[in-house]
Amino acid sequence: MTLETLRFLTHEERANRVQTLEYRVMVFTPRGMYPQGTFHVPNGFFHADEEIAFSVILGESWRTLDPDVPFSEFDWATPQELRLIASLILCEVMDGPYVRLYPLVRFSPWLNARDLDLSSSVTVHQVRELLMDYAGQAPSIRNEFSPLVSCRSQYDLTEPKEFAMDRQREFWDALAAPNYVLVRGVYALMKSDMLSSHYEFSEEAVHALYIALDASFVMVIRQLKKQGVTNPTAHDAQVWVHQHFNAAFGLVAPEAADKYFGEFYEQRVMTFHPASRYGDLPFSPNMHDDIFYLRRWLREIFGYLLIGRHDPGHEDALRKHRESNLQPSSSASGA
């Protein structure tokens, strides 16, 4: 397909379309922080440069995938788009930068293509040029692509070497069978990133992370059941975290009363319930550090649960910890 024939479908054309699979474009705004370059998956790609960030995915709608899924006015990201988003975010490494995605919500043009080579750099270039052409047009109430004007700014990019991008295909493959809980959890991480880019919505960024926290808890409980644990508890879940993340660093094992991220339990109750057994509160008892702490921890847990291995940053930290313990102390007094 040539550049002259590649275009976006109009609303009328989309309404009359009978295909179940469509080439859907998602555009990301300059508020995010993106790995620089183009990253392909079997049925799509993500691209980010100084002027634009976007993805193209051949995929279906939620209703096509699962006719029983509840109706929602917030299902703007399709199953395959969320699969791509998850595969990118999970490529972060311990103590490294975020893959901070900020999509242009409820703007999802379809390409008129029937058979597009998504592995080709020519396709990436064609779609990019098409988006840049629309972004350069004057906004108008009659121009359904006017939202692209908001993307006319320099993008914040990070070198791909800061992430474990070689793991993206493994995450993508692991999500071949829809995992609603994990996708919901990683989606909540992305929404937290979006919210925290606006200082006034930092509190709501914590709220999104509490959703991700609950998703991770459900997944850990299900993992324990697979391992033969009968009626696993919140304490069992915290022990699981210790065994798979903390024990190798020599940290103290959870006590009998410790529960899964129990330090956040009271905060969550007071956050979502203005009146509770902890009293009446005029605001939620959260801090900005809660965002950074939970955001990093939950990404690690989701990634490990999905493919059963830690990211290179975790492995590097563990190696340094072991090497430091092999160094002889300078004196008995620690001088």
Residues 55-72: pLDDT tens digits? 999 999 898 999 999 989
pLDDT at 92 over 70: yes
205-222 per-residue burial string, b: 16 or more CB within 10 A, e: under 16: bbbbbbbbbbbbbebbbe
303 — pLDDT class (breaks 50, 70, 90): very high
Percentage of residues of the chain with pLDDT beyond 70 = 95
Q: What is the pLDDT of residue 328?
A: 58
pLDDT at 333 over 50: no
Cα-based angle 25, 39, 309 (whole degrees, multiple of 5): 120
d(CA 116, CA 138): 29
Percentage of residues of the chain with pLDDT beyond 90 = 73
User: Which tokens sit at 331?
Assistant: 């004196």
45 — pLDDT class (breaks 50, 70, 90): very high
Sheet holding 44-48, edge to edge: 22-28, 53-59, 44-48, 37-41
Per-residue pLDDT, averaged over 13-26, amounts to 86
Query: Mind listing the pLDDT tens digit for each residue in 132-180?
Result: 988 888 776 667 788 888 888 999 999 999 999 999 999 999 999 889 9
- Averaged pLDDT of the chain: 91
Q: Which residues contact 58 (CB under 8 A, 6 or more apart)?
A: 21, 22, 23, 24, 43, 44, 80, 116, 118
CA torsion through residues 301, 83, 209, 229, sign: negative
Contact 35, 158 (CB under 8 A): yes
Q: What is the pLDDT of residue 141?
A: 64
pLDDT at 334 over 80: no
**H-only helix segments in 77-201:** 79-89, 121-135, 168-174, 180-196
Query: Mind listing the pLDDT tens digit for each residue in 235-294?
Result: 999 999 999 999 999 999 999 999 999 999 888 898 999 998 989 989 888 889 999 999
Per-residue pLDDT, averaged over 123-131, amounts to 95
d(CA 258, CA 234): 8
pLDDT at 91 over 90: yes
pLDDT at 327 over 70: no
DSSP secondary structure code for residue 74 in this structure:
-
Please classify residue 61 by burial: count the beta carbons closer than 10 Å to its beta carbon, then call 0-12 exposed, 13-18 middle and 19+ buried.
middle
Contact 31, 102 (CB under 8 A): yes
Q: Find residue 158's DSSP bridge partners.
A: 35
Q: Find residue 56's DSSP bridge partners.
A: 25, 45
3 — pLDDT class (breaks 50, 70, 90): very low
E strand intervals along the chain = 22-28, 33-35, 37-41, 44-48, 53-59, 156-158, 275-276, 279-280
Cα-based angle 93, 95, 100 (whole degrees, multiple of 5): 65
Determine how β-strand 156-158 pairs with β-strand 33-35: parallel
